[in-house]
Amino acid sequence: MTALDHTHAASARSWLVSAQEAGGDFPIQNLPLAVLRRRASQSTMHGATAIGDQALNLAQLAATGLLQGPAQAACKACAGPALNEFMALGPEAWRALRHGLFALLAEGAPASVQAQVRECLMPLGEAEYGLPAQIGDYTDFYTSIHHAVNVGRLIFPDKPLTDNFQWLPIAYHGRASSLRVGQEGFGFHRPMGQAMPAGAKAPVYSACARLDFELEMGFFIGPGNTLGEPIALAQAERHILGMVLLNDWSARDHQFWEMAPLGPFLGKNFCTTISPWIVTMDALAPYRVPFDRPASDPRPLPYLDDALHRASGGVDVRLEALLDTPAHRSQGQTPSRLAATSFRHQYWTPAQMLAQHTVGGCNLQPGDLIGTGTVSGPTAHEAGALVELSLGGRQPVTLANTGEQRAFLHDGDTVILRGWCEKPGHARIGFGECRGTVLPARG
């Protein structure tokens, strides 16, 4: 795992005043990466980092020549409309860029440097985001034991957990083409499909009646591996650039009818959204936590277990899911919170997911996206999907700010995911938001 250095010091400050704003997501300790352009412009998408309330254009920065050596080479690799080339460079190059950006943005940078960097800034509020990489493959895991038990209980009350869950991180291959950035103004149409109503003898073709969200995280693959050559657990994080928030929108009625025996298909493939900013594993280093499970549970097999991983394989990312409905907007209410939890409760870590993904020789490529599965914590209000919060729709959730009820999502509803890390003695860093709005079905 990454060692802490001067870029993690809580005392570090930027000459850009908004970087020090209390509760802000993007202090100088974060330096996340995205692809964006000025909204409503025809200009080409380019790589950027965020500092305070500004985006720093890395294509423009590379052209100034302010960075040198490996940092400049890494910055140039972020100049285009996808970060795959940068991702392929690996952790030394990623760290060189982080250190280079930190030096330019830190208090004490020469006034002439500050002036040139200011020329490369644009308010975050003016940004329109693209996917940060050309994503060749997308895999979604299923690694929260609380989620697995909550959902399993709805179908198999006596034996909610499958025999394999505690032995390996389960996953399915998802669909890369329908991945989108969950940014302001993004919406998708409620999917049509086939469902088998309770007690019916034949399925119906209809708009999804049980549309749900899933509060997840995702991580982007850096350097890939050669077909046939697994990535060992101890090396796994060298292949992970960083993490995003991910919403695996789910059509439960379609999903539960179609998924036996081969798993999710149309119930999951109509849209998946991610937050625009990748928070790097370097930035997450102060918030690592032990990877632990109860002593009564099976120990992972040796290829999924080692001492360093047990000491710091987890990450304490605080997560919350909020719902904004048309009634919230007309009444001037802020979004109601549906759930709050932490990524630290997952039963398997990103490193274990990567080791499992490649153990049979499957090759990963720079820019591949891996979903972690729904993040649900140990208590009822920590469940990361409506199917859990409403007990399969039987007990609708009451929204705190309007008193409305929801078993599943209505047209016009906007789901907002937020994530951040905080810990005494360290700066607070955030992921921003991942949001999306449900539009009516195209009958």
Quick one: 25 or 248, whose CB is closer to Ca ion?
248
Q: How far is the CB of 427 from Ca ion (least distance, A)?
A: 31
Identify how many contiguous H helices and E strands the chain contains and give both numbers.
12, 26
Q: How far is the CB of 375 from Ca ion (least distance, A)?
A: 10
Which residue is associated with the tokens 């996340």?
32
Strand partners, 218: 244, 371
- Binding characters for Ca ion, 130-149, by CB under 5 A (x = yes): ----------x---------
Cβ-proximal residue to Ca ion, closest one: 248
Q: Does the footprint of Ca ion cover residue 258 (CB under 5 A)?
A: no
> What amino acid positions are annotated as catalytic residues?
147
- Binding characters for Ca ion, 170-209, by CB under 5 A (x = yes): ----------------------------------------
Q: Is the distance from CB of 229 to CB of 244 less than 8 angstroms?
A: no
Quick one: 248 or 404, whose CB is closer to Ca ion?
248
Quick one: 169 or 366, whose CB is closer to Ca ion?
169
The number of residues in the chain equals 443
Q: Which of 106, 121, 95 is nearest to 28 (CA)?
A: 106
Q: How far is the CB of 248 from Ca ion (least distance, A)?
A: 4
Q: How far is the CB of 372 from Ca ion (least distance, A)?
A: 8
Binding-site size for Ca ion (CB under 5 A) equals: 3
Q: Does the footprint of Ca ion cover residue 212 (CB under 5 A)?
A: no
Q: Does the footprint of Ca ion cover residue 248 (CB under 5 A)?
A: yes
Q: How far is the CB of 140 from Ca ion (least distance, A)?
A: 5
Of the candidate spans 107-115, 128-136, 214-222, 269-277, the one that interacts with Ca ion by CB under 5 A turns out to be 214-222
The b/e string for 162-171 (b: 16+ C-beta within 10 A; e otherwise) is: eeebbeebbb
Range 327-386, binding Ca ion (CB under 5 A): none
Residue 176 DSSP class:
S
Quick one: 273 or 280, whose CB is closer to Ca ion?
273
Of the candidate spans 40-48, 246-254, 255-263, 334-342, the one that interacts with Ca ion by CB under 5 A turns out to be 246-254
The single residue among 214, 258, 388, 413 that binds Ca ion, judged by CB under 5 A, is 214
Cα separation, 94 vs 340, in Å, equals: 31
Cα separation, 43 vs 239, in Å, equals: 31
| Helical segments of 268-406, H only | 281-284, 307-312, 326-330, 350-358, 386-389
Q: Is the distance from CB of 414 to CB of 436 less than 8 angstroms?
A: yes
Strands (DSSP E) contained in 89-178 are 121-123, 127-130, 138-142, 170-173
Q: Which of 86, 88, 143, 92 is nearest to 357 (CA)?
A: 143
**Site residues (vs Ca ion, CB under 5 A):** 140, 214, 248
